[in-house]
Structures are given as structure tokens and as C-alpha cells.
């Protein structure tokens, strides 16, 4: 049972990485450089995926899917000032990435806009999301079939507390370039939504679906150091020397529990910031079973969310 979960988890993560790599030209440049210079790549840390409340795949559905792939729900991470509830899942084996999943809570914006505008927001999003059907991918069928087969309901696998049966078409959103791929930059509803400062993260999901907005690589923790790593600031300068624009400043102190930096988000087909590469250093945490800090810091995550915004 566990081997089946790990196999499916590896296939799922490989599909996510393929989408991300295909849509971000910086990835091959950076990975090829690191491999040529150091003979290896940094270890994986996490992947970040976003969704929107009310479209059929939120945190509860994510919990059902990722638990069925052997992942373990770890914690909630509310992102300040952005109407976002995030959470993360720990992988079944160390060589797989953690999953940082965030849900943009549309209902949280009610207090800041008129009833008429809020109704318009929900109507336009619903029109874009549900007006699209995509061919179901073979990997989606395999994962869906395995999760809903009888073997997953035997005692070897404990369903998460808030188990929700996964919809095949919602699950397929992970395996298409966008669940609403016919959407264009000239779409009037998309333009209207994208001009709202409070809908920047929502616009990103509408443009790019569940394509990961970043993968993160581990450079240092209490028991590991990537060859050539000295400080996060120096590493950022090294990547910047490749002609890739970097985040203006490192988030977190070098000796803190979490220090991170990323490339600037590259533009996708909508001329909207799409995805980036993040690098992280995890400090020690005596309270953790692994002796290192395994969580996230919402204030630092907030800065990274803003990298895929235009109108704020």
C-alpha cells in the first residue's frame, strides 16, 4: 500500500515539476549552471500551489488528495493582509518535496467591497472556471482510479478527518496547463478582475491554474550544505550573475530558522507574473523531531505572494 502511494506521489510531483519547468525559462539556465559548476543540484524543499475558494478544489480536497498520496497534513499558515489561508503537507519520503498549498478566500473580501462588486467578482470567476472542459490525462485517470479503488479504503490507509471524494475533472486541473485554457488576455472579465488590487493572487490562479508558482531548493540545514554555499546573499549574487533578476532582498536573517530568496517571477502568456525559483536555508529547531525548522513564516511568505502581482 505504502509503495503504491509513494509511486503515485512521485508521478504527481514529476508532472508538477514538468509543467513548472516548461513554463519558466530560468529553470534550465539555473539548474544547468549549478550542475556544471558543483556536480549536483540542491536538495528539494517544497512546491507551492494555489487555488481559489468555491471552485471545487480547496484545502479539504487538497487534504484528501495529498493524504491519499502518502503526504501528512502538518499545519495551517494564514497569510496576513492577503485573504489567503495556506497549509503544508509533509512528504512520505525525504526525497520528495513538501507541498505548500494556499487557498484564496474570496468571502474574506466582502468587508472591503460593495455587495454589487462582490457579486460581480464571483459571477465572473464562475464563468471563467466552469466554462472550460479539458481532456482527462492518463496520469489523472491513474491517480483517480487508485484513490477510489477499494484498496485505499482498507485499514492500511486512514482517510483524513475531512475526507472529500475527489471529482475527476477537478483533479485533472493539476495535469493541464490551465483548467480554463481557452481564456485569453483579451477576455473582458479577466481584464476587469486583473485590475483590482485585492484580486492579484486570484488573477494569477485564473491565468495559470494549478501550475506551481514555484519550486524551492534547500541550500543548507543543520545536517546539509550545498557545495559552494556561504551565505544566502552571496548565493543570490551568484545566480544574479547569470543575468537572472533576483528578489531585492533576502527574507530572514542568515542565522534565523528560515532564510530564503528567489528569482523574480517570469512572465507567462498573459503578460502576468507566472513562476519563479526559490532557495531556502532551514535553521535548527530543538523542538522538531528532525532537529530543524520544518514550517514556514507567513510574513516572509507574504512577500513572495506579492511577486506574482501587478496592480498592488
For the segment 26-36, what is each residue's pLDDT rounded down to a tens digit?
Answer: 999 999 999 99
Average pLDDT over residues 248-261: 95
Query: How many CA within 13 A on the CB side of residue 68?
Result: 27
* Residue 20 contacts residue 275 (beta carbons within 8 Å): yes
Q: In angstroms, rounded to a whole number, what is the distance separating the alpha carbons of residues 246 and 238?
A: 10
* Residue 50 contacts residue 104 (beta carbons within 8 Å): yes
2-308 has CATH 3.10.180.50 classification: yes
CA 193 to chain CA centroid, nearest Å: 21
Choice among 99-103, 162-166, 191-195 with the minimum mean pLDDT: 162-166
Rounded to two decimals, the pTM is: 0.92
Q: Torsion angle, CA of 169/173/178/180, rounded to 10 degrees?
A: 30
Q: Facing residues of 77 across strands?
A: 86
Cell of 60: 479539504
Q: Torsion angle, CA of 166/140/172/263, rounded to 10 degrees?
A: 110
Annotated domain spans of the chain: 2-308
pLDDT of residue 191: 85
**Rg over CA atoms, the chain:** 19
Average pLDDT over residues 287-304: 93
pLDDT of residue 155: 46
Beta strands in the chain (DSSP E): 43-52, 72-79, 84-90, 98-104, 214-221, 224-225, 258-262, 266-267, 273-282
* Residue 58 contacts residue 51 (beta carbons within 8 Å): yes
Residue 305 reports pLDDT greater than 60: yes
Name, of 46-60, 61-75, 88-102, the range with top average pLDDT.
Answer: 88-102
Amino acid at each position: 500500500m505504502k509503495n503504491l502511494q509513494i509511486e503515485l506521489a512521485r508521478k504527481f510531483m514529476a508532472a508538477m515539476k514538468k509543467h513548472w519547468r516548461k513554463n519558466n525559462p530560468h529553470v534550465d539556465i539555473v539548474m544547468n549552471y549549478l550542475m556544471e559548476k558543483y556536480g549536483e543540484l540542491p536538495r528539494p524543499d517544497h512546491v507551492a500551489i494555489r487555488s481559489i475558494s468555491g471552485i471545487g478544489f480547496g484545502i479539504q480536497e487538497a487534504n484528501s488528495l495529498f493524504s491519499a498520496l502518502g503526504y501528512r497534513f502538518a499545519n495551517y499558515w494564514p497569510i496576513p493582509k492577503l485573504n489567503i489561508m495556506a497549509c503544508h503537507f509533509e512528504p512520505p519520503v525525504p526525497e520528495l518535496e513538501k507541498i505548500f498549498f494556499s487557498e484564496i478566500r474570496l468571502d474574506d473580501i466582502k468587508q472591503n467591497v460593495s455587495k454589487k462588486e462582490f457579486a460581480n467578482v464571483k459571477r465572473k470567476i464562475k464563468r471563467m472556471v466552469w466554462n472550460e472542459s479539458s481532456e482527462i490525462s492518463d496520469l489523472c485517470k491513474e491517480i483517480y482510479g487508485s484513490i477510489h479503488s477499494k484498496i485505499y479504503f482498507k485499514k492500511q490507509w486512514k482517510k483524513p478527518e475531512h475526507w472529500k471524494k475527489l471529482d475527476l475533472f477537478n483533479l485533472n486541473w493539476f495535469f493541464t496547463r490551465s483548467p480554463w485554457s481557452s481564456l485569453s488576455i483579451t477576455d473582458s472579465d479577466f481584464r476587469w478582475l486583473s485590475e483590482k488590487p485585492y484580486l492579484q493572487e486570484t488573477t494569477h490562479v485564473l491565468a495559470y491554474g494549478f501550475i506551481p508558482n514555484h519550486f524551492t531548493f534547500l541550500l543548507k540545514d543543520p545536517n546539509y550544505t550545498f557545495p559552494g554555499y556561504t551565505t544566502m546573499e552571496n548565493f543570490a549574487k551568484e545566480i544574479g550573475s547569470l543575468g537572472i533578476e533576483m528578489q531585492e532582498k533576502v527574507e530572514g536573517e542568515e542565522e534565523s530558522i528560515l532564510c530564503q530568496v528567489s528569482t523574480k517571477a517570469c512572465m507567462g502568456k498573459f503578460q502576468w507574473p507566472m513562476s519563479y525559483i526559490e532557495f531556502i536555508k532551514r535553521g535548527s529547531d530543538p523542538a522538531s523531531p528532525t532537529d530543524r525548522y520544518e514550517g514556514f513564516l507567513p510574513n516572509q511568505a507574504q512577500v513572495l505572494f506579492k511577486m506574482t502581482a501587478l496592480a498592488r
